[in-house]
Structures are given as structure tokens and as C-alpha cells.
Amino acid sequence: MKITLFIPTYNEIQGVKVIMPRIKKEWVDEILIIDGNSTDGTKEWLEQNGYKVITQKKPGLLAAWWQGFETATGDVIIPFSPDGNSVPEVIPVLIDKIKEGYDMVIASRYKDDAKNDDDTLITGIGNFMFTKIINILFGGQYTDALGMYRAFRKELIASLKLDNSKNEIFEVLLSIRAAKRKLKIAEIPGDEPPRVDGEDSRAHPGFWGRFKGGLKMVSIISKEFFKR
């Protein structure tokens, strides 16, 4: 089983300097970095420290994800955030768990004693609510259906008919369709510390960004439910 650690970067210089030295290269078979044309020295620092960096072809975080998925050579992909939200030491735990035969293993921010220090009141309520809805409608048993930090078999992209044509939130769609198919899914506790640079989320920045993200999740859940 070959493991790809996929890391999208865009102006992450503070984060990569702190986080990347904590990742042991022997943990995985491939470290795949897709950089979205950083201007703060992120790409240069990574290359100077021995990492191969691929320049992103199309703008946007989701475009970086899909370029990473298409480029990855591993049987298993682990998306990883270098801004401090993803704890490097969880990587070998995810790998050990998926080697037990699971299709997907999520580093849950709400399982057992895990802590999500990056949560606000709004995101905490939203994560809880949407996870519960996904569990009820699609038969999931998640504590964290929305978390990005997870290991999953690359073959799921094709078998669950996931694609980038509709600009959907990948991790949400993956959680829903994996639950619908009754795949073998596990969770492990995984903290989400604050970002190293203290900035807001790139995926859904600010109140309106989170509001729009929530509306998008409602749309995804509705379409998947009525597709049954």
C-alpha cells in the first residue's frame, strides 16, 4: 500500500517553517506539494529544504485539491494543511488504522478527548448540525463528517463518482457517498490547533464565507438525499 501525503500551499511561509520539519519523510511514500503561486517565499523555502513543489495550474483551493488527486501516485491519499490546523504526528496513526482494511479514516476533531481550538461558536454549531444531518439521512456514524484531515483510498474518487465539474465541497461529498455505500469507515481523535499565522480559514473566510459554505453544504446534502 503506497501512501501519498498531499499538501496544498498558498503563502504559507510561517506555517511550513514550523510544521514541515515535524513531518518524517519515512512515514509516507510520497509527499506531494501543490503550490498556488505563492509570493511570500513558501515555494522557495520548500525547494531549498528538499521538497519537490508542483505549481498549481488553475486558481482556487478546490482546483489545488483536484490537481493533487490527479497527480498522486499513492493507493491512499492524506490531505494535509501546513498552516498548523493539521497535527503531523497524527499521520502515522491514520496510516496504521487504514492498513487495518478501512476505506477511509477521519482524524475527528470531536471524537473522545480531541479538541478543535480553531472553532468559533458558529463553526462548532455548524459542524455538529451538519454531521448529525448526514448521519440521520445517509446512515453515517460520524462525529466529524466535515473534517478535511483524513486518509482515504484513491480508488474511492472513481468508485463514488467524485469529480470537480460542479465545484462541490469534496470532503462533505466523500463523507456522504461513503456512508450511502456503507463503506468501512473509522475515526481517530485528532486535534485541530489554531493556525500558526493566526489568520482566518482560506476555505471559508469570515462570517459571510462561512455562511456561504453552510448554504453550499445544504445544497450538497439536499441533492444527495433526493438522488437516492
The pLDDT of residue 199 is: 64
The pLDDT of residue 216 is: 87
Q: How many structural domains does the chain have?
A: 1
The pLDDT of residue 134 is: 97
Task: Report how far Cα 67 is from the mean position of its chain's Cα atoms.
Answer: 14
Question: CATH no. for residue 84?
Answer: 3.90.550.10
Mean pLDDT of 158-162: 95
Asked whether 181 and 174 are in contact (CB, 8 A), the reply is no
Runs of H (alpha helix) within 99-183: 121-138, 155-159, 170-180
**Domain range spanning residue 99?**
3-226
C-alpha torsion sign, points 193, 163, 78, 172: positive
Sorting pLDDT into bands at 50, 70 and 90, what band is 197?
Answer: confident
